[in-house]
Structure 1
């Protein structure tokens, strides 16, 4: 029997087409059990001047409530989170701030990451509070530190220096080191009165380090990335330069760095491999996901990277580890599989999709 969603128009004309589209969208929303979003869908608009999506107050309220509703599946809450990243204003910002304290460490860290990517300066006090709260999972504190670096204000320097000295988790201290050097880099560039075009990520992400200068060869960048004696910022700079190169040798160098001693660097490498979506990384990322002794932060990034690569072996592995006892891993697999399902069906994972979300 043909379902409502299979309805096919047999008429022509713009008016009939609009009626059909309204009919189909209403079916989709009802099937998704997001009844309140029906009228709101038609209220969405685009502010092309600043690449920010606009929506009705009803839709905004719906997204904020969905994000914070712990009874909803984690994948649905992530749909709301990615959509809220496309909005500006106190309601989206405050919802994301509240989400940084969620019982799901995956959601909490992603909310902090989103605030950094949005460069929400008004979220700095809340992010500082998260960074200083040692009762929170290190992955959440790490993401708060990275967000403070992404926002890039001079006023964030004392906050980061304090955690660099006092935080017991190495991955958090290393993130503070990175964030401090990013802020210094922004200051140095500002003092010259020139912006550096290579600092702008082709992946539309606010990266924790500017890529190394384009004059470096792949071999030179590989040497820096794999050198355990180099500073973390310098190694990150090499990593992002190799990512921007994207050639086979560059990807091979990035894969080799998954053996780094630093869990922070390994997790960023997995993240970058997800951005590149190169199937050459599937085997190495699969080994990381399978390794129960690996840092959960690294396994989580490997899972999401495999979701981006999305070959048959990667999908099968995600389905296997969706029941992993580590919530950071199991929830990452759930979100990755849900995103793939939406992609297969030709639908957007986001409710609002002005920008491609950068999952971290």
Structure 2
């Protein structure tokens, strides 16, 4: 790996906080910081939580969680506690605490498990379950490493039967944690049948649940998922958190149909949807280019 100086990292941080820069450049800066890691990158990321873009702040929290560095815990706690932050930002801070997986976060997650914002409450519930699961005996027998290099909110279920997993996924009486486990097992199967089963999940459960289904469909990058994602993005009565995730998933799949749909919603009334389409189109450009890694901001810093 090329040696990066602290000054170079801080220059990337300047791109991240510069509201005059195009959002896609700021996203590239963010994901470069995430990939570099370390205390300076975390410092640069945490300095951006006063931004006006809920989408960007949501991604800040996501990246801090994916880095799995305990240095980020205090910042994520502050974001979760801040009721002035948008629900999708607070939700992502809670999920990030679960991703880091430290028992240090148990008290605050327990405190906000009954938050009046349902997406925040449900995320705290999931994060608590993940941390407790990590401390339990099953953890030693389950491979939690995602084939997509992501830190997931729940480990995959032990089953590989699509029908069984779909039944759990769509079971309103099952715990959210178990439904997420089924979701990630379906994703890991990478079959068209599994994609169709996941597509059915976009029509049931809470907004939090549906947004996670959209996220995994984006990870799969299977064209079979496009009609499900497009339908939810085009439904203006759908929760904006779900529509935003559908847009980004379409950006990851990056077919011509995806590009056409994303262009259609570039002027959406919801800022987070509009910005997600902008970022998704940037992802499409990457998916159809020879670049080896999305979001390398070393070239724009």
What TM-score comes out, normalization by structure 1 length?
0.79
CA contact (8 A) 2:61 2:96 kept: yes
Larger RCO of the pair (alpha carbons < 8 Å, separation 6+): 2
Give per-residue Cα distances to partners, 1:240-286, cap 9 Å, x unaligned: 00100111221111111111131111000000000001111111111
Which residue of structure 2 lines up, in the alignment, with residue 71 of structure 1? 20
Q: CA deviation at 1:343?
A: 4.1
User: Which residue among 201, 210, 213 is the counterpart of 1:269?
Assistant: 213
2:47 to 74, 98, 116: 98
1:219 to 155, 158, 163: 163
The corresponding residue for 1:327 is: 271
Q: Distance in 2 between matches of 1:57 and 1:152?
A: 27
- In the alignment, what sits opposite 2:250? 306
Match of 1:198 in 2: 143
Moved more, 280-289 or 295-304: 280-289
Structure of greater Rg = 1
> 1:196 and 1:205 mapped to 2: Cα distance?
19
C-alpha root-mean-square deviation of aligned residues, in Å? Answer: 1.6
> Displacement, 1:344?
3.4
Shift of 1:345: 4.2
Cα shift at 1:340? 2.2
Partner-residue secondary structure (3-state), 1:272: helix
Partner Cα distance (1:89, 1:184) in 2? 26
Indicate if the aligned counterparts of 1:100 and 1:140 stay in contact, CA closer than 8 A.
no
- 1:289–1:302 CA contact under 8 A, matched in 2: yes
Q: Match of 2:66?
A: 117
1:177 pairs, out of 115, 125, 139, with 125
Q: Does 1:297 align with 2:241?
A: yes
5+ long unaligned stretches in structure 2:
none
Matched, 1:152 2:97: no
The answer to whether the 8 Å contact 2:58/2:89 transfers is yes
Question: Whole-Å Cα distance in 2 between the matches of residues 228 and 77 of structure 1?
Answer: 39
Gap regions ≥5 residues in structure 1: 1-44, 47-53, 354-360
Residue in 2 aligned with 1:22?
A: none
Q: Deviations over 1:225-249 (max 9, x none)?
A: 0001110000000000010011122
**C-alpha contact (below 8 Å) 2:76/2:96 kept by paired residues:** yes
Task: Return structure 1 stretches of 4+ with deviation > 4 angstroms.
Answer: none
Q: Which residue of structure 1 lines up, in the alignment, with residue 112 of structure 2?
A: 163
Total equivalences in the alignment: 297
Q: Supply the distance in 1 between the matched residues of 2:259 and 2:156 (Cα, whole angstroms).
A: 31
Q: Distance in 2 between matches of 1:285 and 1:304?
A: 10
Q: 1:170 to 1:339 in 2, by over 3 A?
A: same
In the alignment, the residues of structure 2 paired with residue 159 and residue 325 of structure 1 have an alpha-carbon distance, to the nearest angstrom, of: 34
